[in-house]
Structures are given as C-alpha cells and as structure tokens.
Structure 1
Amino acid sequence: MENPFYQGDHLTGGYNNRCLVYDREGETCKRCGSAIMKGIISSRKTFFCPNCQK
C-alpha cells in the first residue's frame, strides 16, 4: 500500500496517509477525538475507534 509497484509509477503507493484508523493505535480519532484501539481477530490486526464503531 505504501510503495509504488515500479519506478515512475504515480498511480499506486502512498495510500497509508489516506487511512483514517489503520496503523494509528493510540492516536485520536479524526471524527470524535477518542483514542484508536488495536485488536487481533483471526491473527490479523484490526484498528477501530470504540466510540464511532459499535
């Protein structure tokens, strides 16, 4: 998600800056200001705001 597929590729890569909760554990939610939490489900990382996501 972060790196382009090949040199000179301007269509892919740089998506991590657009993610609002992914890999932002402990940071504040941009919607409500609560702390973003990290969970493990089936050996995969999940990030969520406990206030916004019920």
Structure 2
Amino acid sequence: MENPLYKGDDKTGGYQFYVYDREGEECFRCKTSIVKEEISSRKTFFCPNCQQ
C-alpha cells in the first residue's frame, strides 16, 4: 500500500520500494534487519518492526 489507512497512520505506505531485495540490510526507518520469507513460492521482504 502506498497511502496511509487513516489520518495519523505513520506506519502504512511506501514499504514495497524500500525493502525489496534488501534481506539482512537495515530498515531505513528503524534500523531493524530486513527479513525475506517465501509465501506461496513468492519472495516477500519486510521489516518485522515497522510492518507488524
């Protein structure tokens, strides 16, 4: 998702371009290590702290 879900939502949006193919590197927002998981045979990258 690119846009916040509600007014004041500062965690939703913009993640897909900041984490893709960066497994093990630091998240730009919180410095937590980016995780890669395989879901239905597809790669998924996310920050476990920002994207709870």
TM-score if structure 2 supplies the norm length?
0.67
RMSD of equivalent CA atoms: 0.5
Structure 1: runs of 5+ lacking an equivalent: 1-18
Q: Highest CA radius of gyration, 1 or 2? A: 1
Instruction: Pick 1 or 2: higher relative contact order, CA cutoff 8 A, min separation 6.
Output: 2
Secondary structure of the equivalent of 1:20?
A: helix
Q: Deviations over 1:1-54 (max 9, x none)?
A: xxxxxxxxxxxxxxxxxx200000000000100000000000000000000101
* Aligned residue type for 1:42: S
The percent of aligned pairs where both chains have the same amino acid is 69
The gaps in structure 2 that reach 5 residues or longer are 1-16
Q: Where in structure 1 do 4 or more consecutive aligned residues deviate above 4 Å?
A: none
Distance across 1 between alignment mates of 2:29 and 2:42: 24
Aligned length: 36
